[in-house]
Amino acid sequence: MKKSEATRLNILQKAFELIYAKGYQTTSIDEIIATTQVTKGAFYYHFKTKDEMGLAIINELLKNNFKSTFIEPLQNTDHPLDSIYQLVYGILMENDLLKVEYGCPTSNFTQEMAPWHVDFTKALNELSSRWENAMIACIENGKKAGSVKEHVNAKEIAVFVMSGYWGVRNLGKLENSKSVYLIYLKGLKSYFQSLE
């Protein structure tokens, strides 16, 4: 990796950590520069604006992580509901990068930026659609294989799981506790059992 590519990646990673902990709107470019220990000139060489950097965080960091965490576990599975449950369980209970007190980075960006910034809305909607479509495909495969009842609506399940996940992340952030995650996971398991 070239030095300029390493510098850009360092800026994105450190900026992401700051933004995840503090929020996008309240994190200043000066704080990002101080944390990354690059010059203002180096920052502006890589990003013309804070929003350009924010979009790069979504498109370059979150997308790659999102693919390995939210999409790939749902591919090529014979038991889609188990796979979806295990994915959500793992993200909520075992993922060390996502902190209960900070919630979900994608959800945080959505709440802060989507209503006001078309490019953020588009990038975040693409992430959301990828997860939704991966779940739908996974469930449809389960219906064909007979592990999911034939009459269920795959899109309904995907939207239910996603909205529950983002909602419980926010509740966890409010309570600063994973105990609410366990309640959600118990309900999700019961819901899935009714669909098998």
Cβ atoms within 10 Å, residue 35: 15
Quote the pTM value. 0.90
- What 48-52 contacts at long range (C-beta under 8 Å, 24+ apart), as own/partner pairs, is 51/117, 51/119, 51/120
Q: What is the residue-level pLDDT of the chain in tens, covering all 196 positions? A: 688 888 999 999 999 999 999 999 999 999 999 999 899 999 999 999 999 999 999 999 999 888 999 999 999 888 999 999 999 999 999 998 899 999 999 888 888 887 788 999 999 999 999 999 999 999 999 999 999 999 999 999 999 999 999 999 999 999 999 999 999 999 999 999 998 8
Could you tell me the domains of the chain?
1-48 (1.10.10.60), 50-194 (1.10.357.10)
Whole-number CA gyration radius for the chain: 19
- Render pLDDT for 101-154 as a digit per residue (tens, 0 to 9): 999 998 888 888 877 889 999 999 999 999 999 999 999 999 999 999 999 999
Res 4: pLDDT: 83
d(CA 145, CA 109): 37
Task: Work out the widest C-alpha separation in the chain, in whole angstroms.
Answer: 59
How far, CA to CA in Å, does 172 sit from each of 84, 100, 114? 20, 6, 22
